[in-house]
Structure formats: structure tokens, C-alpha cells
């Protein structure tokens, strides 16, 4: 019995319409990135595990896909020792930021700093598949490395605003600073638990305040420490009032004060630049990745229930792991798959994306085929997608083909049209039908364009 074909859970096939819609997203993002002077690079799907491990925290490391060494990796393995280091030297990339840091260090002699790059490639995480969460998904990252100027943070906020405005999605950009979170850990008397605290409060939107408090108890925080954190996680008001409250709370933390200074500067730049989308200071925003050291960002869709659709932050120490210290960077990642789901749910994709070709030339016989080929070539030269049906089949079959591919125009030319030197074109939606001189490609374009 033949095996029933299937794909792994958490992955998807992308057909004609899906690819047209994905490319619509990618083309908009590329246009935005390039308008700010960013260039595109790509890195391998797999990296050495030594490159990936230890960069995402314990929870992130658990989600890395390991790749078995070629051949029989277990043949000479010492079963009394941990197996993974012996049989797996490589893994699928978890995100695009760590490979980017590796790329910068490896190619530093070829780059002009600050180095501004964007990257659009799939990543893999051994996560539990659910709505909006996949094991294989695409990220669209944009980063600048080699400067600590908060003009870079401003540019990222501007690009987020430009991209989602062009995509037609209302969003809110949430901002915090990792130094503020470090300051909170210090005033709680638990500076060594900053990672535990950030991992827990990063789940606030998903599991709620009570569950976050229970997780903090499990991590060893005292009731007094949790009492200090709780009002911060529920703090409301405008940016100025939030910063005022936090300055009083973090007065004894030098690191926390630095974070507040950076936030104040960034929001001043955002106000000066006149960003089109709402930007909110969210002191519960943590983003549970160990490498963030300054500003952190997260983007939420306002009209569709889903997790964050973009996020990122500043990372001062990432390239130092690879032997290039003091190289600060900042970037954001656009979640292409979640953006796709939002646009689908809101019905924001242009209807024109459903068409694969603009016009189909029917195949009547060898004479008509030779007759329409120059017309098809002329339209293609003007940027119109054109198909000629490959077989001299029944017209019903050719009409069905056009319908299944949502091709809006069909051209049927037999002996009569050839003798008259005209091309007959029909609008399959309205039924309107017109004839044009065979050499008047601009007139044909005006009808179907």
C-alpha cells in the first residue's frame, strides 16, 4: 500500500497564492530596509553547535535542532559520556542574529562600519506547534552593528512604522530597556536572578500576573521582591509619568538609571521624528534572550489576536563571544509567518495577488500559435505576465485552466482573426470582448493592464 504523503508538524507547504502573498510581504520589507541604506546578506541553514549554544538561555538551547554527524555517528561513541557532543557538531539556526554576529566577526576586514544589513531566511525551533507558532518559519531581520548611537534605535522604530503602514496593519510598538530590568533585579536584592526574572515577566501577556508571580516564587524570589516588581508590571500612564515613577524606584541602581536615561533619549528622538504608529513604554517587556543589553522592542497587531509580529533589541556583547569585543549592535526581526496570518485574517492582501498571469493565449492550431507568439513576446517585454496554452485542446479545457489560475483575460484567435490581422481579447470577469491590430501591443496593454 502506498505511503500517505505528509509533512512534519509545525511546517507548511506554500502554493501559488501563498508564495505570491509571502513575496508581497518580502518586497515591502526589502523596499523599507533599502530606503534606510541596509544591504542584504544570507548565511547557511546550519551552524556549528558551538556557535549556537549558550546564546539563547537554557530554554532556547532546548529548542535547538541538532544535526547528526554523517555516516554512523554512534559507531565509535562512548556510551558512558554525554552523547550529543560526540554525535552532533552542527545545528539548524535558531534565529538570524547569532549567525549575523558570527558573519561580522568572520568578515570584519571586508565590512564598512557601522554595518547595516538585512536578512530574510527560514529558522527552526523544536517548539510545540500551535496557532501562530511553527517549527520552521521565516524571519526578516534588520540590524546595524558598530555604533552605540540611539539614532539606530530610532531608525528601527521608523522602519517598523513604515513597514506596517505599507502593509496596512495597525500596530503598537512596545519599548523597554534591559538595563532597567537589571536595575529591578538589583533593588529586589536578586541581581543574580535577572535572567529568571526576565524570562518570567516576558510571559506576562501569555499567562497573566498571578502565574508570573508563582513562577518568580519558584525561582526563589521573596514575597518582598515580588511586591516591588508587581506595581512596575502594572504601571500605567504616559511615558513621562512612567519614567518619573521608575526614577524614584531605581534611584539606588546605577545600571537602572542608565537604562532610564537611554529610554528618555530614545523617546525624545521618536517624538522629534514624528513616527506614525503608537510607541509605548512597556516596563513588563523583557524578551527572554540573554544577549540583549539595552533597548528592547516588540510589535503587537492591534486588530488581530496573535503573539508579537516583530521584536528585537540592542546587544553590546554578542560579537565578543566570537573574539570581537566592544562591537555594539541593535536590530529587530519581522515574523513573516505571523505577519502573513494577520494579513490573511484581516483580508489585507491585494486581490491582484491571486492572479498568476494577466492573459492566456488559447492554442487553436499551429498557425494561430505562430500568429500570437510575437504578441505574447511584446507584452512580456512590457512587463506583463503572459501564458500560451501548450496544447491545442478543447476550448472548454483552456477556459477551465484560466479559471483555476484566476487569469482575468483570454485571447482566442482562429482563422478569422489571422486573416483580419487582429487579436481578439476577452475579459473573463465582465465578458467585454475587443479586437486590436496584431501589431498594436500598446493598445492591448491599455485594455488588459
Q: What is the pLDDT of residue 289?
A: 56
As a whole number of angstroms, the distance between CA 38 and CA 111 comes to 13
pLDDT over 70, % of the chain: 99
Nearest to 334 by CA among 15, 17, 26, 12: 26
Nearest-5° angle of CA 259, CA 275, CA 27?
110
Write the CB contacts of 151 (distance below 8 Å, at least 6 apart in sequence): 269
Query: Which percentage of the chain shows pLDDT scores above 90?
Result: 67
Closest CA to 414 of 359, 360, 362, 377: 362
pLDDT digits (tens, 9 = 90+) for 331-376: 999 989 889 999 999 999 998 888 889 999 999 999 999 999 999 9
State phi, psi for 173 to the nearest 5 degrees: -95, 120
- Cis bond upstream, residue 114 (ω within 30): yes
* Other C-beta atoms lying within 10 Å of the C-beta of residue 276: 11
What pLDDT, on a 0 to 100 scale, did the predictor assign at position 251? 92
267 CB burial (10 A radius; 0-12, 13-18, 19+)? buried
Q: Looking at residues 128-148, what average pLDDT do you find?
A: 89
DSSP 261-319: HHHHHHHHHHHHHT-SS-EEE-TT-----TT--SEEEEEEESSS--S-SEEEEEESSTG
Q: Tell which residue, 140, 426, 146, 434, has the closest CA to residue 310.
A: 140
Helical residues (DSSP H) of 6-145, grouped into ranges = 16-35, 49-52, 57-62, 84-87, 97-106
Specify the pairing of strand 115-124 against strand 39-40: parallel
CA angle 112–113–117, rounded 5-degree value: 85
Return d(Cα 397, Cα 319) in angstroms, integer: 59
**Helical (H) or strand (E) element with 89:** strand 88-92
Which pLDDT band, with edges at 50, 70 and 90, does 292 fall under? confident
Alpha carbons 151 and 92: distance in angstroms, whole number: 33
pLDDT over 70 at 74, yes or no: yes
Whether the predicted pLDDT of 403 surpasses 80: yes
DSSP string, 178-217: HHHHHHHHHHTT-GGGHHHHHHHHTTHHHH-HHHHHHHHH
Q: For residue 209, what pLDDT is reported?
A: 83
> Per-residue pLDDT averaged across 99-124, rounded?
95
Write the pLDDT tens digit of every residue in 206-227.
788 888 888 888 888 888 888 8
CA dist., res. 439 & res. 184, Å (int): 74
More confident residue, 61 or 161: 161
DSSP letters for 44-68: -SEEEHHHHTTSSHHHHHHTPPEEE
Cα–Cα dist 195/287, whole Å: 10
Q: Determine the pLDDT at residue 290.
A: 66
Residue with cell 504578441: 375
- What is the rounded CA–CA span in Å between residue 283 and residue 232? 7
The H or E element spanning position 377 is helix 366-381
* pLDDT confidence of residue 441: 93
How many whole angstroms separate alpha carbon 43 and alpha carbon 122? Answer: 10
> CA 374, CA 358: separation in Å to the nearest integer?
16
Q: State the distance between the two ends of the chain, measured CA to CA, in whole angstroms.
A: 50
* Mean pLDDT (whole number) for 194-204: 78
Helix axes 178-187, 223-233, angle to 10 degrees: 150
pTM, to two decimals: 0.84
Distance CA 111, CA 385 (A): 39
Minimum mean pLDDT range among 108-112, 211-215, 367-371, 420-424: 211-215
**Radius of gyration of the chain from its Cα atoms, rounded to whole angstroms:** 28
User: Of the candidates 13, 55, 79, which has an alpha carbon nearest to the alpha carbon of residue 291?
Assistant: 55
Give the span between the Cα atoms of 426 and 435, in whole angstroms.
9
Domains of the chain: 16-45+93-346 (3.30.930.10), 356-448 (3.40.50.800)
pLDDT for res 288: 59
Q: What is the pLDDT of residue 132?
A: 65
pLDDT digits (tens, 9 = 90+) for 241-259: 999 999 998 999 999 999 9
- Cβ(100)–Cβ(321) below 8 Å: no
Amino acid at each position: 500500500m502506498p505511503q500517505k504523503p505528509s509533512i512534519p508538524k509545525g511546517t507548511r507547504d506554500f502554493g501559488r497564492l501563498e508564495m505570491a502573498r509571502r513575496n508581497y510581504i518580502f518586497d515591502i520589507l526589502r523596499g523599507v530596509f533599502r530606503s534606510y541604506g541596509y544591504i542584504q546578506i544570507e548565511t547557511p541553514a546550519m551552524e556549528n553547535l558551538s556557535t549556537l549554544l549558550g546564546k539563547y538561555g537554557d530554554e532556547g538551547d532546548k529548542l535547538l535542532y541538532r544535526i547528526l554527524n554523517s555516516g554512523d555517528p554512534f559507531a565509535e561513541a562512548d556510551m558512558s559520556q554525554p552523547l550529543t557532543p560526540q554525535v552532533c557538531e552542527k545545528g539548524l539556526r535558531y534565529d538570524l542574529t547569532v549567525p549575523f554576529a558570527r558573519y561580522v566577526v568572520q568578515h570584519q576586514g571586508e565590512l564598512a562600519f557601522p554595518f547595516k544589513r538585512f536578512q530574510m531566511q527560514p529558522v527552526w525551533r523544536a517548539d510545540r506547534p500551535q496557532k501562530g507558532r511553527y517549527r520552521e518559519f521565516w524571519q526578516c531581520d534588520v540590524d546595524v552593528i558598530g555604533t552605540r548611537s540611539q539614532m539606530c534605535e530610532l531608525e528601527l522604530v521608523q522602519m517598523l512604522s513604515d513597514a506596517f503602514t505599507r502593509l496596512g496593519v495597525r500596530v503598537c510598538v512596545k519599548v523597554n530597556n534591559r538595563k532597567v530590568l537589571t536595575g529591578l533585579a538589583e533593588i529586589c536584592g536578586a541581581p543574580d536572578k535577572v535572567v529568571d526574572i526576565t524570562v518570567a515577566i516576558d510571559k506576562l501577556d501569555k499567562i497573566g500576573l498571578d502565574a508570573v508571580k508563582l513562577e518568580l516564587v519558584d525561582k526563589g524570589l521573596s514575597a518582598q521582591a515580588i511586591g516591588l516588581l508587581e506595581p512596575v508590571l502594572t504601571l500605567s500612564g504616559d511615558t513621562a509619568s512612567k519614567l518619573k515613577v521608575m526614577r524614584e524606584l531605581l534611584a539606588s541602581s546605577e545600571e537602572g538609571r542608565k537604562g532610564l536615561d537611554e529610554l528618555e533619549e530614545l523617546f525624545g528622538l521618536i517624538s522629534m521624528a514624528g513616527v506614525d504608529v503608537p510607541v509605548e513604554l512597556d516596563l513588563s517587556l523583557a524578551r527572554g534572550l540573554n544577549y540583549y543589553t539595552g533597548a528592547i522592542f516588540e510589535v503587537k497587531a492591534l486588530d488581530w489576536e496573535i503573539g508579537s509580529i516583530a521584536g528585537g533589541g540592542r546587544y553590546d556583547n554578542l560579537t565578543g563571544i566570537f573574539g570581537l569585543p566592544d562591537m555594539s549592535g541593535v536590530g529587530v526581526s519581522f515574523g513573516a509567518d505571523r505577519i502573513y496570518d494577520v494579513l490573511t485574517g484581516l483580508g489585507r492582501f491585494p486581490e491582484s495577488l491571486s492572479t498568476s498571469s494577466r492573459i492566456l493565449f488559447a492554442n487553436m492550431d499551429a498557425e494561430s500559435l505562430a500568429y500570437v507568439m510575437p504578441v505574447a513576446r511584446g507584452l512580456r517585454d512590457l512587463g506583463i505576465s503572459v501564458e500560451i496554452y501548450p496544447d491545442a485542446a478543447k476550448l472548454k479545457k483552456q477556459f477551465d485552466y484560466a479559471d483555476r489560475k484566476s487569469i482575468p483575460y483570454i485571447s482566442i484567435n482562429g482563422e478569422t482573426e489571422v486573416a483580419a490581422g487582429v487579436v481578439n481579447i476577452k475579459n473573463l470577469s465582465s465578458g467585454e470582448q475587443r479586437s486590436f491590430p496584431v501589431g498594436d501591443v500598446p493598445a492591448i496593454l491599455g485594455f488588459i493592464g
